[in-house]
Every structure is written in C-alpha cells, then in structure tokens.
Structure 1
Amino acid sequence: MNSDWFMNYAEYAVRAIDIETHWYELRGWITKNGRHILIGDDGGGSSGSGAGKSIDNSVKSGIIEENGEPKPITKITDKAIASVPKVKISGYTDEQCSKIQEQHKELLKYARDNNDCNEVAFVFDSSLQVRKEFKGSDDRLDFGQNFYDSDLMIMHNHPRNSSYSFTDIVEFVGNERIKTLTIVKNNGNVETLSKLKDFDKLSLLRSLQKAENKVLKATKKGEYRDNEYRKVVNKFLDNQQKGGLFEWKK
C-alpha cells in the first residue's frame, strides 16, 4: 500500500462517529440525548477531529455513564512498558506478533511522552508496515467510519486499566474494516480482540441494543451503570468466542 495514501485517509479515520447518521440509522436505534458513540476507556463521548490533536470535550455524554469523579489514571512507568507481553494472535505470524508486542510498548511510551499518559491509538494497515498515531483524552478516542482499507489493526491504551468498553465493542462489530482491536493498559497488561470469520453485523448490533435496553430499564437515569455495561460486554464477548466469531485474549 502507498504510505502517503494511507496517511491521507487515516486523517479522516479519527473523526467522531456520529451514530445518528451511521450505525443508529442502520439499525434504527434511537439516539439518546443526541450522544455520539466513541471508542474509549470508560465509554463517554464528545465530538472532535484532527490527527494528533486532543479531542474537544465540550460534549460530555456516552454509553457508559459515571457519577462523581472518575478514578485517577495510572501513570505509565518504565516497568510497565517492559512488562508488556507478547500475545499469539490468530491470523498473524510469530514475527508479526513480536512486532505487535514492540508496538504496544511504543504506544505506552508515546502516550507517556506525548499525551500525559492519556489515551492514544496506533492505526496500522493490513501489512502492519504503515502506522498512524492519534491522541485522545483520558477516557476516549474518536474514530470515524472513513476507513478505506480492510483488515486494519487498531491498538490503544486504557489509562484506568479497564477492559473493552461497550463503545469499543459497538465500533469493533460495526466497522467491517477493523480486523483486530487491542488494548495495552497503562499498567502493561494487554487484551486483544480479533474477528475470525464473517458474521451478521446487524444481528450482533441488535443483540447489543437489547442488552443496552435491559441495562437502561434496570437502572435509573443518572445512576452509575459502568458495572452493568461491563457484564454485558463480558457476556457478549464470551458468547462470540464460544461461537467461533471472535478471539478474545486477556
């Protein structure tokens, strides 16, 4: 792939996903409070654009809602970087998995040195030879739908060491360009999520919608819902892994 071409379209890839005109429209989901779904550590959302720029936090809304102050982020240390493990990911050679390990380490260094240990992402083309870096805030990164390549790998850090968020999963399922989505947590732990075969995207989005509706019905507005969404995500990923659709390593 031409490197300049990849860099050009990657600039668009960081634009926020407006669910009102994208997945919500496809699924007929009703946008709640005009919110946007974004990829992120603790859910949440805002609109923003531009590679390598902090995300505009003027809109504070999202799938996973928290009351009170969020937990402090974990500062990235040399020890955490050195401890990042090599993970054998299906669909990648041993050499590529070694490179992914090194890039996870590089990502933590980049987050520490360039974004105060907040969220950053590396987007790789299918060959893992071309990389584009993006910066976010402490709990969110914005990715748009304008991926023109397929089999992309997206790796990002989670400053509070959480697992995949509900919004991570919506983006992973809904964006057919993404093959693998990884988290390297600020403490050095790694999770990987890969698609193993084709699946009915709308069917999975429907199941996520139903699960979200149950959470909303079971909790009051303004109530802390993070734990409930975590349960939804874990159950969903476990089911898809058992069904052979995804590989989830943690």
Structure 2
Amino acid sequence: MPLPKFRKILLKLSGEALMGDQGFGIEPRMIQYVADEIRSITDLGIQVAVVVGGGNIFRGIAASSFNMDRTSADHMGMLATVINSLALQDALEKKGVQTRVQSAISMHELAEPYILRRAIRHLEKGRVVIFAAGTGNPYFTTDTAAVLRAQEIHAEILLKATKVNGLYTSDPQLDKKAEFIKNISYMKVLEKQLKVMDMTAISLAMDNKLPLIIFDMNQAGSMKNIVCGEEVGSRIS
C-alpha cells in the first residue's frame, strides 16, 4: 500500500457533485460513490474534513438575482448545505466511517455546533468531520468557508472536487481552445479571474500559503492518488 504524503486534508465538494446526472437534489448512487472515495483515504490513516456546498438544492447568489434579499437567500443556501452534510454523513457511516457534522448555525437536534477544539479532537480519533452551513455568515461562499476551516484545523492541503480534470484558461465545455493549466500561482488566478473558486477564497489561501489542488471527482481513485503524492489535476500554490 502506498504511503500518504499528507496527514490532514480538507475536501471541498460542490453540491452539484452530489446530484450526478440529475438536474437537482441528491443522486443516491453518486453520494455512495463519494463516500467510497472518502473512505479510501481515511483507510490510509489520513485525517479528513469536508465542506459541502448546497448548489444542488438552493444557491443563494442566484436567488438574490431574482430580487430576493441576499441575506435571506444566503441563509437558505446554508440550510441546503446542512441537508447535503447529513446525507453524506449517513452514507459514510453506512460504510463504517465514523462521521460528525458540525454546523456554523446552531441546530442542536441535527448537528454539533462548530467548535474548533472538538473538531480537531474528532479528527485525531479518526472521524470524518463535515463542516456545514458555510461560515454562518451571508455574503461568504462555501469556497471561502473551506479555506477558512482548512486554516483553522491546520490542514496541509485543500482538495477542490469539480466536474473537470483541473484548471483551464476558460471553460473547456464551452471553449474547445481552452488550455489545461498544471501549476499556477494564486496571483495569476486572481489576475486572470479564473472561476475555479471565488476571489475571497483564493486571497485567503494566498495569505496563508494553503496549497489547493483542483481535480475531477468523477475519476475514481483521484483523491487517493493525490494524497499518495501523484500529480493529479491542477495545483495552485
């Protein structure tokens, strides 16, 4: 068995990653697949934290464009991430992976409150910790929440799961001339305004020198290959 190169990672999953080929919601086969991929790295003894988006259920920034108050829309988006987090927790625990959901919005009947020391203790005990409800504040995306939580738990790297195999100069599904980018600096991402993560998240990662890897979640084994040191996807550092 290959030896892992990292001791602690944070995985950022978009809500869309859980809906598979559906246009909405959670696709059971897909969430089982994601749980299997996460288990493949917890089996290596790596501490794993996860931040899940909510775009498969509700996207606050999109709703605000239809004259909904942005704060209300973002709070609804945070609740969508809690739904996804509970679904992922259930899928992981059915595969024997102890999992805890910590929410930035208090909802004691459903999830633990976000307490940093408790989260670190869970990770040390080999549990997967899913951080739900973003930062708990409107106007901040789950990308920013992922970088923030990664910094707080002292994750060595942030893995951003997408539907493409890395970073491109433009959207490869729309532009056939889009060029693949293997390695890039934070500043170049900001200058070119590449839409891989929001600019606040990239800036926060840059300020704290948190390396990011963008990879295709649909390629089975990608996460395991990354944590074992293989060059997969695109690296921002």
Shorter-chain TM-score: which interval?
A: 0.3 to 0.5
Q: Which has the higher strand share?
A: 2
What TM-score does the superposition give when structure 1 sets the normalisation length?
Answer: 0.32
